Amino acid sequence: MPRGPLMIIGGAEDKVRKPTILKHFVALSGGRDARIAVIPTASSLGREVVDVYDALFTKFGAARVDAVRPETRDEAHDPALVKALDEATGVFMTGGNQLKLSAVVGGTPVGEAILRAHERGAVVAGTSAGASIQSSHMVAFGVGGSTPKQRMTQVAAGLGLVPTTVIDQHFDQRNRYGRLLMIVAQSPQLLGIGVDEDTCGLVEDVDGDAVMRVLGKGAVTVFDGARMVSNAHEAKRSSPLLASGVVFHVMPEGSVFNLTTRQLVPQQTDVDPDDAVELAEASRDLRQLARDIAAADAAPAAIRRRLKLRRPPTRPSDDTPTPQGEEA
């Protein structure tokens, strides 16, 4: 069985007007058969947060919503919580403080049960803090700003659902280019993933590759430092870092990116309806031409005459000079 989809949500996902992302989560989790476990540990408002998501997921058709709310590492050993996760078709980790979430569940039976859910094909989703913790190397906390500076952020261990990555959220809204770049400059093997608010990177297993599709209102930004040059090992205090040669990808809804090969997966572009009509007409003309050629009736003059008969001129002919001396 392939691993389940991961939903990396950048925080502040729309819950009322156009709740595309949360509806998608319920649908992927099985719709009317969905059994969802909500983990609100990151939040300081645990119970209220569960109530909100319970109401939403139920409204979107989920069969059952359970709260899995360990507040200590001791509670994260509770077999009842593990059981709820083991029976879930979808796991949802709320926003809040990702360092609290990782410090409570990392390496505990609850943490293991989340990994197990992913392995058996369940959906694992998380917003804000719940997005960050999915990476192997987690942004613990840090300051905003576009320019990467030494010591502007701290890394802790995430759950590693998306290996060899560091995930940041509220990316555009809180201006987190700098801190994500700082981490990539120090650890160029990690792919940096920044997710905007009300936006989701949906990661699925495609022939063994982790392939991400973007949903929602903003963009997902990827920093690839594979060929970068940096001075991170010698930059002093809080000085700006050299980060040269980073390849990056800012991707709005509909974009697809292969996290394993680190490449954009080209998508078909939208077709302009007028273009389509024009192309269809041209295509008919070409087919007629091909038939004429096949019928050995292909003298240029004959073809031109025929086309003239078929097409009404769009402008007076004295506007468009016609080549002379080619008629024969």
Residue 21 contacts a second copy per CB under 8 A: no
Residue 235 contacts a second copy per CB under 8 A: yes
Question: What residues form DSSP beta bridges with 90?
Answer: 36, 123
Go through the chain and tell me how many residues it has. Answer: 328
**CB of residue 229 vs a second copy: minimum separation in angstroms?**
6
Residue 242 contacts a second copy per CB under 8 A: yes
Nearer Cβ to a second copy (88/259)? 259
List Cα–Cα distances, 322 to 102, 110, 245, 316, in angstroms.
Answer: 76, 79, 54, 12
Nearer Cβ to a second copy (247/298)? 247
Q: Which stretch binds a second copy (CB under 8 A): 59-67, 79-87, 212-220, 304-312?
A: 212-220
Q: Which amino acid is at 265?
A: V
Q: Supply the DSSP string of 175-231, one letter for each residue.
A: T-HHHHHHHHHH-TTSEEEEE-TTEEEEEEEETTEEEEEEEESSEEEEEE-TT-EE-
The three-point CA angle 255-256-260 to 5° equals: 145
CA 106, distance to chain mean position in Å, is: 24
Closest to 241 measured CA to CA, from 231, 233, 249: 231
163-182 mask for a second copy (x: CB under 8 A)?
A: --------xxx-xxxx--x-
128 is catalytic: yes
Nearer Cβ to a second copy (175/189)? 175
Q: Which stretch binds a second copy (CB under 8 A): 93-101, 111-119, 231-239, 295-303?
A: 231-239
Residues that bind a second copy (CB under 8 A): 145-148, 171-173, 175-178, 181, 194, 196, 217-219, 221, 229, 231, 234-235, 239-253, 255, 257, 264, 266, 269-270
Q: Which residues are catalytic?
A: 128, 170, 197
